Amino acid sequence: MLKTVFKGVVTASVASLLAFSAHAADVIKLGAVAPKSGPLAGGATVTQWPNVELWSKQVNARGGLNVGGKKMMIEVIEYDDKTNPGEHIKAAQRLAEVDKVDFIVAPYGTGFNLAAAPIYAKYNYPHIAVSAISDKMPELTARYDNLFFTLGNTTSFTESVIDILDDMRAAGTIGNRVAMVNVADAFGIELAEAARPRLEEAGYDIVYDKSYPLGTPDLSPIIKGAKDSNPDAFIAWSYPPDTFGLTEQAIIQDLDVKMYYTAVATCFPAFGGKFGSKIDGVFGAGGVNQDSAKIQEYFKAHKEVTGKVADGWASANTYASLEILGQAIEGAGTIDRATVTQYIKDNSFDTIMGTISFDNQISNKYWTVGQWQGGKFRGVKSSQMDGAAPIVAKDGWK
C-alpha cells in the first residue's frame, strides 16, 4: 500500500514550516484513497488526484479554511487502493483509526463508492460521491445518512443517450440498429441493464450486446463483433482503459456509425490528444459548459498548479465536491463531522459547476452527455445545467 503525505502548501519559508508543525491542532487532516496503480489508475490520475492537489493548495495559499474564526491548513494523507475494493476499505479504516483524519475524499468509481459506503458511514465521514452513477441512490441515501450524490443516476444517463438517438433517427441520420457493449463492473452493468428495456421500448433493435472484464487488454474482437452486426449506432458503457481501446479499434476497423458513444474518459484530454480530429462528433459521458467563465478560470488554475490539463467532465465535478466540503466546514464553523454533514444537507453551495444543493442527499444538477466539437468536449445534454451546445454531425473517422 503506497502512502503519500502532502501538506498542500504552495510556498513556505523554513520559519513558517516550523510554525505550521508547532500548531498541529490548526490542521485539518484530509484523507484520500484512490487508484495509483491497477486498471483505474489512469482515470484517477486525470480526475481525482490533481483536484485534491489543486483544492488543498489553493486553500492553503489563502491561509487555510476559516473554522469558527480560526484558520486551519489542509494536510493531505494519500493511499493507493490498487484498484482493489478490499485495499480501499483497509486504507479507509487506517485513515480513520491510525491517521485519525478529519475528512476523507470520496472514492473514485461507482463500484468503489458503493463498496466503501459502509466504512465511511461507520466513521461518520461526509461521503460526497462525485464519481458514482446509480439508480440505487434513494435506497443508498436512506441507508447511509452521510452519503451524497452529485453525478446523476443511471436513468438520466441512458435516457439522454436515447434522446440523442431519437433526434438522429427522426432526422433520418440513423436507423434502428444499435450495438451495445459494457465493462463488467458495477458502473457498466447497471447502465447496460437500464438501457436494454428503454432501447427496446423506443423501438431500437439491439443487434449486438456484449460485456467484457475490466482491464481486458484486447478489445478488437468486441469491435469486430459490433461491426459485423451492421449497426447504425454504437454505445459503450465503458471505463477509461476500454474507452481508449474500443475507439482505437473502431478507427482501425472503420466502425463507421453516425452515432458513436463511449462513457468514462471520452472527455479526457489524452483522448483528444491521441485521436485528434478523428473523434469530432464522438459522444461521451458528462461534459462541461466550455464557455463558462468559472470553468475557464478553473481550467487555467488546474494547469498552472498541477501541471496537468483537466478533463471535460469529472475533473470539475471532483473539484466542486471539495468546494462543497470546504464551504460546509466553514459554514458549520467546526470540523465535527456530524455537524458538517448536516450543514451539507441544509444548504446550497457556490461551485464552478453552478449552485449545488441536495434533495434527500442527491443533487439534481449535472451533465449527462458531451460531444467532441472542434477540439473541445462540450456538454450537450444535462439535468438543469446551462450552456448546452448544439449537437454536430459525425462524419466518419476523418
Question: Among residues of the chain, what percentage have pLDDT more than 90?
Answer: 91
Radius of gyration, CA atoms only, the chain: 21
Domain 154-290+368-383 in the same topology as domain 3-153+291-367: yes
State the residue for C-alpha cell 454536430. Answer: 392
3-153+291-367: CATH topology is Rossmann fold (3.40.50)
Average pLDDT over residues 69-75: 97
pTM: 0.88
Mean pLDDT over residues 51-62, rounded? 98
Q: Can you state the angle between helices 110-122 and 85-94, rounded to 10 degrees?
A: 30
pLDDT band at 1 (very low <50, low <70, confident <90, very high): low
Q: What does the pLDDT read at residue 250?
A: 98
- Reported as a single tens digit per residue, the pLDDT across 207-250 is 999 999 998 999 999 999 999 999 999 999 999 999 999 999 99
Centre a 10 Å sphere on the Cβ of residue 348 and count the other Cβ atoms it contains.
Answer: 11
What pLDDT, in 10s, does the model give residues 304-343?
A: 999 999 999 999 999 999 999 999 999 999 999 999 999 9
Q: Chain-wide mean pLDDT for the chain?
A: 93
pLDDT at 398: 79
Residue 236 burial (C-beta neighbours within 10 Å; 0-12, 13-18, 19+): buried
pLDDT value at 166 more than 50: yes
Q: CA torsion 287→293→295→301, rounded to 10°?
A: 160
Angle (nearest 5°) at CA 362 between 357 and 368: 95
Query: By CB neighbour count within 10 A (0-12 exposed, 13-18 middle, 19+ buried), where does 304 fall?
Result: exposed
Report the C-alpha gap between 3 and 22 in whole angstroms: 23
Homologous superfamily in CATH for domain 154-290+368-383: Response regulator (3.40.50.2300)
Identify which has the larger pLDDT, 18 or 202.
202
Q: What's the rounded Cα separation, in Å, for the pair 105 and 322?
A: 8
SS3 content of the chain, % helix, strand, coil (to 5): 45, 20, 35
pLDDT tens-digit readout, 257-273: 999 999 999 999 999 99
Give dist(CA 345, CA 360) in Å, integer. Answer: 8
pLDDT average, residue stretch 108-131: 96
Instruction: Give the pLDDT confidence score for residue 25 in this predicted structure.
Output: 57
Domain residue spans of the chain? 3-153+291-367, 154-290+368-383
Query: How many CB atoms are closer than 10 A to CB 253?
Result: 14
